[in-house]
Amino acid sequence: MHEYSIVQALIERVGTEASVRHATAVHRLKVRIGELSGVEVDLLTTAYTAFRERTICERAELDVRIVPARWECPDCGAPIGRGNRLACGACAVPARLAEGDEIMLDQIEMEVR
């Protein structure tokens, strides 16, 4: 399942960061999930709860922030509203997705001795 591999990669990444910084524990992870990323947040948190056992993330909470999709013009940078035709009225070029398809680890709160 997609969400399981995301969580696996996430925990591996946090493990690397934690060992580089000689952290003794991780308290919280903040991730940003775009609404168009195809990630089911419920599945993600379920997968996380299962995978964090016996890892450095065992007691770390997972904060998920959902990022709404946002389009803009690739030429002039004008924002293009949802529900509009997905093209810039001034430049007549197709809109570009500026935000909303990302899966991003934003922040790790950890304890360093």
From CA 80, how far away is CA 77, in angstroms rounded?
A: 9
- The helix/strand/coil state of 27 is strand
- H helices of the chain, in order, are 2-20, 41-51
Q: Which of 73, 80, 108, 110 binds Zn ion (CB under 5 A)?
A: 73
Q: Which of 76, 84, 86, 111 binds Zn ion (CB under 5 A)?
A: 76
**90 contributes a contact to Zn ion by CB under 5 A:** yes
Cβ distance to Zn ion smaller for residue 76 or 104? 76
**91 contributes a contact to Zn ion by CB under 5 A:** yes
Which positions touch Zn ion (CB under 5 A)? 73, 75-76, 78, 88, 90-91
